[in-house]
Amino acid sequence: MQLAIFLFPFLGYLFGSLPFALWITRLVKGTDIRDAGSGHVTTTNTIRQAGWLPGILVAILDISKGFVPTYLALNAGMPNWVLALTAAAIVMGHCWPIFAGFRGGMGLATTAGILLAVSPLGFLVAFAILLLCVLLIRHAARGAVVAALLAPFVFWVLGLRGPELWVGAAAALVLAARFYLEDWNRRYRELWLDRDHEDQSK
């Protein structure tokens, strides 16, 4: 049990560190995804640089790398606080991947996979909050971080106070730290609703 406490977060970080957007864009276009667009190793930046099919594949793989280690930890009977540590490690791996020079993505797809593993209803609630925040704020990163911080409170109000609350709060803290450290003062466009705008951060 004590070994598993360290094993699952470690496994989570390794899974999270798999930079599928970087690898697939490099395979399809021969370019480094971090050198154009938003500079993020994300699904939306993959779509922007390599097209929809590579982007969809990246989304599936990024969701999977959040789902698999969380599912394994959940089915191993890990307590909620270990699930939270695992979730935080997965998102940290995606944001600061050891396999990509610690230059990664935003962590949204991996967070989606984490929530799917513990609570499909929690995933749907979080997705609805994300859509609402992005449409209202009209900025991908800011909308995402506001949604991430709101989601645990909404879970609590709706009575979703099991593992989805723990992993949602843990992921939200990492997403907020990632935004504050790297995107606080950046102004860029990334989602479908504003992809035609130029990246103003360059």
CB atoms < 10 A from the CB of 29, how many?
Answer: 15
- State the pTM of this model: 0.88
- What digits encode the pLDDT tens for the residues 43-90? 888 998 899 999 999 999 999 999 999 999 999 999 999 999 999 999
187: tokens are 């102004």
Phi, psi angle pair for 141, to nearest 5° = -65, -45
* pLDDT band at residue 143 using 50, 70 and 90 as cut-offs: confident
Task: Tell me the domain boundaries of the chain.
Answer: 2-194
5: tokens are 């406490």
Across the chain, mean pLDDT equals: 88
Q: Is 89:13 a contact under the CB 8 Å cutoff?
A: yes
Percentage above 70 pLDDT, the chain: 89
**Using CA atoms in the order 126, 25, 10, 184, what is the torsion angle rounded to 10 degrees?**
-60
The pLDDT value recorded for residue 182 is 67
